Amino acid sequence: MVSSEESVLDVLMRHPVAEWVRRRLEADPAAGPGDRDEYFDNCTDDGIARWREDFFTRGARRLPFKGRAEPVPIEEKTHVCMHNTAARFGTARYQRRPWERRLDAGELPAELAARYGLAELGRDATAARLALHARFWTVAYHWVVLRNGDVLYNNEPTRYTFHGNGANAAAIGVSMEGMLPARERDRRASHDAADEAFVARGQRLLRLAVATTRAAGAPLTHITAHRCFSPDRRGDPGEAAWRQVVVPLLDELGLEVDYGFAEAGGRPIPTDWDDSATHDWAGREA
């Protein structure tokens, strides 16, 4: 995908999507498609994935991700499926310890250690950050933004991962970490904030996920929600993620929403989340 010598912008400019990027940069030069320093590579050998282990058994195969061994051709990736993790992630001592050892032994190349902030954060916090990212190796999303703001490129787009039921084949999974209410009017004190920083990082996540996946050759045309594919995930990704992160970027990213769509017990995007929606929370035509 993206080698360490070239920026995402370089890759984009070699691809048909370059025209899309050029138009965007003309509209807002400061926006940019993002460069490599804006996200953490959690899945290719350029990043810490050199320590990522196979953990998932699929038939006779062992895989470094939860999914199917057979990749999905990049031309078949037409959708983004939005999620929230419905959980907060932390790290235990036993998960931090290997990273402390690797830092102490100088096993991380200086460039990588610097990338994770060793000079600013110190050894313990850097190890905790590395361990937190490594926890997401068992999580099926292709892209995820953490509560601390870190954006992870977590699985290559051609990996068939189990992130969204019927969305798995055609969609890359893009997720925001946190306990988010299905609807903001149901918000409780125990929920995570959907403040300005959360929304800004979510938008950064979505821009990076779309730009890099298109640069890899995927014809992303639509965005959908896990809610539409599962009766158990009706609040996924939740009103804040959809209304404040997805909706404002639809035109900019050239993504469409199929507002009537739902399958397998899921429900369409609700009017509670999106003023253009055609169905209510219960799935009835509005």
Under the rule (CB under 5 A), what is the footprint of Zn ion? 83, 226, 236
Distance between CA 171 and CA 79 in Å, rounded? 4
Q: Where are the alpha helices (DSSP H) in 151-265?
A: 196-215, 239, 250-253
Q: Which is nearer to Zn ion, 47 or 67 (CB)?
A: 67
Q: Which is nearer to Zn ion, 230 or 244 (CB)?
A: 230
Distance between CA 79 and CA 210 in Å, rounded? 10
Q: Which is nearer to Zn ion, 17 or 144 (CB)?
A: 144
Beta carbon of residue 175, minimum distance to Zn ion (angstroms, whole number): 7
Tokens found for residue 1:
């995908």
Phi, psi (rounded to 5 degrees) for 82: -85, 145
Beta carbon of residue 44, minimum distance to Zn ion (angstroms, whole number): 24
Starting at the edge strand found earlier in the chain, the sheet holding 151-153 runs 40-41, 151-153, 143-145, 171-176, 79-84, 222-225
Tokens found for residue 37:
């320093």
Q: Which is nearer to Zn ion, 33 or 238 (CB)?
A: 238
Beta carbon of residue 158, minimum distance to Zn ion (angstroms, whole number): 20
Phi, psi (rounded to 5 degrees) for 62: -115, 130
Q: Which is nearer to Zn ion, 41 or 236 (CB)?
A: 236
Distance between CA 239 and CA 219 in Å, rounded? 26
Beta carbon of residue 200, minimum distance to Zn ion (angstroms, whole number): 21
Beta carbon of residue 226, minimum distance to Zn ion (angstroms, whole number): 3
Count the Cβ atoms, other than its own, within 10 Å of residue 26. Answer: 8
Q: Which is nearer to Zn ion, 83 or 267 (CB)?
A: 83
Beta carbon of residue 21, minimum distance to Zn ion (angstroms, whole number): 29
Beta carbon of residue 205, minimum distance to Zn ion (angstroms, whole number): 14
Distance between CA 71 and CA 61 in Å, rounded? 13
Q: Which is nearer to Zn ion, 63 or 86 (CB)?
A: 86
Q: Which helix (H) or strand (E) holds 95?
A: helix 93-104
